[in-house]
Structure 1
């Protein structure tokens, strides 16, 4: 995983209250950068939207099925250690961990 992705993952975990104590220093250092603050703001906005009881609109038709399909691919990808992504969906659309 590249450093940029790792920093964003740490900031996301910090925003969710799930960051390990051993990772706090790295996350706080990332928050001292403009990109880190922008990521923090984005994750806070996303969290607020997810927790909001009021929805601005309905999800598109088939959203739940598409999400479940992508999550299944991601789960399968993570469980196959050392496997190289070969499909465009895996290589381009899903975040690498």
Structure 2
């Protein structure tokens, strides 16, 4: 649930319109709301390293879909670029979570 919330909040932040007052106010609202929710949850006794990893993983998924979408917008006819993004995403997912100790 934490990862999904982080994904939705960060996805909403990057998908908001940037050239209007609505986008500015929405962006500030999302930042303040995310700060408040994460700060409140992180102070609870059940918060641990798994929750932090879920929070980071959710926001990284936004980077992944944004990378594919922007690549498609900039180079719609270049299939090689899309294949490179898919391979890179696969390598990143395969290496996620390795070498991290529970602290």
When normalised by structure 2's length, the TM-score is: 0.35
Q: Identify, as 1 or 2, the structure richer in helix.
A: 2
